[in-house]
Amino acid sequence: MLRLGTGPRLAYRSPMTGIGPVEPVDSSDREESYDVIGTDGPRLTDRWSARWRGLPPRTRRATLTATTIALLAAGVLLPRTLSGDQRPEPEDTPVPWPANVTAWRYLGPAGLPEPPGTRPTSGRFRFAVDVRGGPPVTLQVTGAAFTGLTAHALPDAFTVHPGTTRRVTVEISVSDCSVLPQNADLPFLDVTLRNARAIQHHSFIFGQAYSRDLFRLLRGACAATPAPQPGRPTGSAGSQNAD
């Protein structure tokens, strides 16, 4: 007997690994829709039986004939289908968390080198972002590792579809030289990622090439800057001149 009932929801939480920098999203997650399916309505067989008895004899005969033909056709076609590769139902594939399917790769500085003698306080850097699977992921760059820097992508928020790579430019601006290190390994970008499963705040860490290019900007912007007054920025994204 087939009966749709409300099964126990799967409790899925490690006792020691509470999820931190994430927020839930109203999603089409299977577990979310499970409760809807499980409403305690009349049994299917009861409903079918009642409807069948209410049909005129001619309709019943026509239905029986059509059903017999359909079952015979299914008997021929289904074994072929079953002998093939049995792929899992899409419903069995859980929606991945966005940070687990998103990768960033540093490509290099964007644009032409600054003319000698200039001290830009912002620079543009190019990255390739790819999403390996799941639903599309929307990203927004929120920071560039160090206090004293601001960062944003151009455009500010962008979406990457699964199985694709999107090239993006990130503009990083020096806002306070007094709190910036002279050098550091493995600088990163702070990024907010959102897909149908969750919103995550995640850092993407880059290697030596990005570190070298970033600190070239920082050293250029801060080299001859007088000691900053507390709370007063020495440059900004909108200003190419130290103020």
Q: Please identify, using beta-carbon distances, which residue of 110 and 114 lies nearer to other proteins.
A: 110
- Identify which of residues 97 and 235 has a Cβ nearer to other proteins in the complex: 97
Choose the binding region for other proteins from 98-106, 155-163, 166-174, 217-225 (rule: CB under 8 A). 98-106
- Strand ranges of the sheet holding 122-131, from the earlier edge strand across to the other edge: 102-109, 122-131, 164-174, 149-154
Q: CB under 8 A: which stretch of 67-75, 151-159, 160-168, 218-226 binds other proteins?
A: 67-75
Q: Decide if residue 200 touches other proteins (CB under 8 A).
A: yes
Buried residues in 215-243 as b, exposed as e (16+ CB within 10 A):
bebbebbbeebeebeeeebbbbeeeeebe
- Measured CA to CA, the distance from residue 200 to residue 160 in angstroms comes to 15
CB of 13 to other proteins, least distance (A): 6
In the complex with other proteins, which residue's Cβ is closer, 53 or 232? 53
Instruction: For 65-87, give one letter per residue: b (16+ CB within 10 A) or e.
Output: eeeeeeeeeeeeeeeeeeeeeee
Distance CA 126, CA 105 (A): 9
Which of 9, 43, 132, 212 touches other proteins (CB under 8 A)?
A: 132
Count the residues of the shown chain that bind other proteins, applying the rule CB under 8 A. 62
When asked if residue 62 is in the footprint of other proteins (CB under 8 A), the reply is: yes
CA distance 62 to 80: 28
DSSP letter for each residue of 34-55: HHHHT-----HHHHHHHHHHTS
Residue 178 C-beta: closest distance to other proteins, Å:
10
In the complex with other proteins, which residue's Cβ is closer, 18 or 117? 18
Asked if 48 interacts with other proteins (CB under 8 A), we say yes
List of residues 6+ apart from 196 with CB closer than 8 A: 25, 27, 28, 29, 95, 134, 135
Strand partners for 55: none
User: In 3D, which of 185, 165, 184, 172 has the Cα closest to residue 104?
Assistant: 165
Member of 4, 50, 66, 154 binding other proteins (CB under 8 A) = 66
In the list 33, 50, 52, 240, the residue contacting other proteins (rule: CB under 8 A) is: 52
Nearer to other proteins, 4 or 66 (CB): 66
For other proteins, the closer of residues 13 and 238 by Cβ is: 13
Interacting residues with other proteins (CB under 8 A): 10, 12-22, 44, 48, 51-52, 55-56, 59, 62-63, 66-67, 70-71, 74-75, 78-79, 82, 94-97, 99-100, 102-106, 132, 145-147, 179, 181-186, 188, 198, 200-207
